[in-house]
Amino acid sequence: MIGLTREEKVIIVFLTASLSVGSGILFYKKRHPSFAPELKSSAFTLPGPLADTLNCSQSDSLLSEPEGQKEGARPTKAIPVQPLGKINLNTASQASLERLPNIGPTMAKRIVEYRNTSGGFKSIEQLARVKGIGPKRLEQLKQHVAVE
pLDDT of residue 84: 58
pLDDT at 10: 92
Neighbouring CB atoms inside 10 A of 41's CB total: 16
pLDDT at 61: 40
84-122 core/surface letters (b: 16 or more CB in 10 A; e: else): eeebebeebeeeebbbbeebeeebbebbbebbeeeeebe
pLDDT at res. 74? 57
Q: What is the pLDDT of residues 116-127, one digit of tens each?
A: 999 899 998 999
pLDDT on residue 4: 86
| pLDDT lower than 50: segments of the chain | 50-67
